[in-house]
Amino acid sequence: MTTLAIQPNRIAQYWALTKPRVTQLAVFCAVIGMFLATPGLPDWRLLISATIGIWLLAGAAFAVNCLVEREIDSRMARTARRPMAMGEISVQQTLLFSGVIGGLGMWVLYNLVNPLTMWLTFATFVGYAVIYTIILKPATPQNIVIGGLSGAMPPALGWAAIANDVPMQAWILVLIIFVWTPPHFWVLALYRRDDYAKSGLPMLPITHGLEFTQFQIWLYTIVLVATSVMPFAVRMSGLIYLVSASVLGAIYIWYSWRIYKHYTDLIARKAFKYSIIYLSLLFAALLIDHYFFF
């Protein structure tokens, strides 16, 4: 009876290691890439296999991130209840878990999708779990800018899964997420600045102050909105996407202007939530436009 009571809790702890909400957004962007890679519907077997493989490797990367940052997480209110931070899961268990699901993900991608997707996804794993988490994040306030490429890769992974190629159109989607990442995370760092000060991480609001960070968010948002028009400019999308990107971008610029000129933690919290909605709706608009192009 005791074993049955403990088991679901242990499963929940391992599930938490994969940062499921972040993983879901990454996999969503990868799936959009899969649909955009073909004029019709993608092969459902490739679609399912690629989704599972990418999800498993992303979860493995996030588990390594939780392992490396367990002491930092324990000092921050936002992350103090993560399983590694609370000591609920050991280092050995986390390494084994990450190795198993990561290895399974690589096997699925290599054997059921194609080697290109497996190697690109593995490179993304290394970029996030090693280059970003271990090297860049504790070393520079530009960590999220330099290391953002690994987090921006899902559309290219999805495209590669279906087309066995990564053309210019896929890299445009990567570029959009790459430019979206800094203002998204810097807003979080603004209203969580006390947490990040305790963590010891060199986040931009801590190293350069609030006003500088607010200005950078404003600049990056302008660049993001300009970048978001590129799919229309290269004729990979039509008016549905252009109108959607314009409206979504105008709202994002409004939030960023308020952060720059009239900052409050409440505005920053709302802007952070909107940034996630923005990216989700932007990519959803791409998908809708792909099948209703005019």
pLDDT at 78: 78
Q: How far apart are CA 133 and CA 61, in angstroms?
A: 10
pLDDT reading at 36 higher than 50: yes
User: Model pTM?
Assistant: 0.90
pLDDT-derived band at 83, boundaries 50, 70, 90? confident
152 token code pair:
């921006």
Residue burial 209-218, b: 16+ Cβ < 10 Å; e: rest: ebeebbebbb
Give percent of the chain with pLDDT exceeding 70.
97
What DSSP string runs through 225-242?
A: HHHTTHHHHTTSS-HHHH
Say if residue 8's pLDDT is above 80.
no
Q: Which residues contact 75 (CB under 8 A, 6 or more apart)?
A: 195, 198, 199, 200
Closest listed residue to residue 119, CA positions, set 128, 109, 129, 127: 109
* E strand or H helix at 259: helix 239-261
Cα separation, 197 vs 203, whole angstroms: 8
Answer for the pair 57, 121: CB distance below 8 angstroms, yes or no.
yes
pLDDT at res. 2: 38
Classify the C-alpha dihedral 17-198-277-147 as positive or negative: negative
pLDDT digits (tens, 9 = 90+) for 193-243: 888 888 788 889 999 999 999 999 999 999 999 999 999 999 999 999 999
Which pLDDT does position 164 carry in this prediction?
A: 96
What integer pLDDT is reported at residue 29 of this predicted model?
93
pLDDT > 90 in the chain, percent: 69
For residue 279, name the pLDDT band (cuts at 50, 70, 90).
very high
Q: Which residues, at least 6 apart from 177, have a Cβ–Cβ distance to it below 8 Å?
A: 29, 148, 151, 152, 154, 155, 279
pLDDT band at 46 (very low <50, low <70, confident <90, very high): very high
Q: In this structure, are residues 26 and 151 in contact, taking their beta carbons and an 8 Å threshold?
A: yes
Q: How far apart are CA 50 and CA 290, in angstroms?
A: 20
Average pLDDT rounded to a whole number, residues 128-132:
87
What are 257-266's pLDDT values in tens digits? 999 999 999 9
What is the per-residue pLDDT for 222? 97
- pLDDT of the residue at 1: 36
pLDDT reading at 6 higher than 70? no
Q: Which domains, and CATH codes, for the chain? A: 1-166 (1.10.357.140), 167-294 (1.20.120)
What's the rounded Cα separation, in Å, for the pair 123 and 81? 29
What is the rounded (10 degree) CA torsion for 264, 270, 274, 276?
100
Higher pLDDT, 77 or 117: 117
Instruction: Report the alpha-carbon distance of residue 63 to residue 90 in Å, rounded.
Output: 12
Q: How confident is residue 3, by pLDDT bands cut at 50, 70 and 90? A: very low
